[in-house]
Amino acid sequence: MNEQIKINWYRSKIDKEIMRELMKPSDFRGLCQTVPQLALFAATGTLAYLAFRNVHTTNWPWSVPLLLAALFVHGTFNGFLGLVAVHELCHKTPFRTKALNEFVLKVFSFISWSDYVGFRISHVKHHQVTVHKDHDGEVVLPQTLDWQSVKFFLAQLVPFPFLNVPNAPLRFFKGFFGHMRAWAGAARGDIKDATFKAEWITKVMPESNVAARREHRRWARIVLFGHLALAILFIATGHWFLIFIFTFGCFYSGWLVLLCGIPQHIGLSPNVPDFRLCCRTYTCNWLPAFLYWNMQYHVEHHMFPAVPFFNLPKLRQAIAYDLPPAPHGLWATWKEIIPILKKQKEDPNYVFVPKLPGVSGDRISDEIIELEAAAA
């Protein structure tokens, strides 16, 4: 891999006082997001468990389909607990109280088997070198829509964890105990992608970073032994089905989080110093926006990552004069993406270039840098 590079990113002009207000975190707003999301996890999990109990207490022919439907709903809503919730909490922007942010981050990371230690380090680099070839290890463009991708998506429609989970815990187990290259394996089995990601994670968390590696292993053991202890408890008390609901509750039926998350960069330009050209914003209704922590405002999030998720709609309003138009809804967004992917299949050099307003912005201003540094 090439050496790290520094990119002079374009940012839209925004008043310093407006930015100061938008960057303010809030314990109340953070709790308004995290408490309902955890309650939703508990509610859908309870419904799934009751549906499972119903299979044993009734001969009603719809009991099994109801169980599958309940698991499907549980997985659909709670696939967002992993990288979506953990992602924003890793930015340290939602909560004013940093200790509360870290506590909630660990709760979400534990439930979803997320490696917040490695991800936090990796994600800083992703923001610094977004989709720049050989430098961004999280997103590599072009992203193709091949049969392997379609199969991966279809697997996410199945409300049963072991169809989607087989290699994930194994990768985590190996990586959690120091095997960083094994931990970084590609989710879809792409050898080339797996090799690049393995090189990436060992670069951003090298052996010389003893403190990070130690924290990584410590968190790994908490997750591994914590879930193992809970699984033993579930089995010992006769509630073994909770393993499917709690232990692996974020590992199946993740179709909606894929539909929300894949548009972030797909089909756009790599190696450009302008987030408007390499990130995609779309708008949507309140439910996917809530589940997705407003990450549909992805241009805005990359341009000003110190702004908490709950202020991204206001941020868009403040800099809308300088942004390309955004499609509304997942249907409209994917209607725009699919033709782009078809063109890229015919011409690998093709990228979609959104129409930019004829208004000049700034490179990163010193005032904004100072504000963000103070908030870090």
Residue 130 in any domain: the answer is: yes
How many angstroms separate the CA atoms of 113 and 168, rounded? 9
Residue 359 in any domain: the answer is: no
pLDDT along the chain (376 residues), means of 10: 74 95 98 98 96 83 90 95 94 97 97 90 93 88 81 81 58 61 48 57 81 87 91 96 92 93 95 96 97 98 98 97 96 96 91 81 45 50
Q: What is the pLDDT of residue 361?
A: 44
Q: What is the pLDDT of residue 184?
A: 52
Residue 293 in any domain: the answer is: yes
Residue 98 in any domain: the answer is: yes
Cβ atoms of residues 145 and 190 within 8 Å:
no
Residue 129 in any domain: the answer is: yes
- Give the tokens for residue 370: 């100072």
Q: 178 exposed, middle or buried (CB, 10 Å; 0-12, 13-18, 19+)?
A: middle
Q: 348 exposed, middle or buried (CB, 10 Å; 0-12, 13-18, 19+)?
A: exposed
Q: What is the pLDDT of residue 13?
A: 94
CA dihedral 269, 274, 276, 279 (to 10 degrees): 50
Residue 296 in any domain: the answer is: yes
**DSSP-assigned letters across all residues of 38-68:** HHHHHHHHHHHHHHHHHHHH---TTHHHHHH
Q: What is the pLDDT of residue 47?
A: 96
Work out how many domains the chain is built from and give that number: 1
Non-local CB neighbours of 2 within 8 Å, separated by 6+ positions: 134, 135
Q: Please name the residue that has the structure tokens 């022919």.
A: 61
Residue 258 in any domain: the answer is: yes
Domain span at residue 319 reads: 21-354
- HEC profile for 170-220? HHHHHHHCCCHHHHCCCCCCCHHHHHHHHHHHHHHCCCCCHHHHHHHHHHH
Non-local CB neighbours of 98 within 8 Å, separated by 6+ positions: 92
Q: What is the pLDDT of residue 168?
A: 56
Q: What is the pLDDT of residue 161?
A: 66
Residue 371 in any domain: the answer is: no
CA 270 to the chain's CA centroid? 20
CB neighbours of residue 59 within 10 Å: 6
**DSSP-assigned letters across all residues of 208-262:** T-HHHHHHHHHHHHHHHHHHHHHHHHHHHTT-TTHIIIIITTTSS--HHHHHHHG
CA 101 to the chain's CA centroid? 17
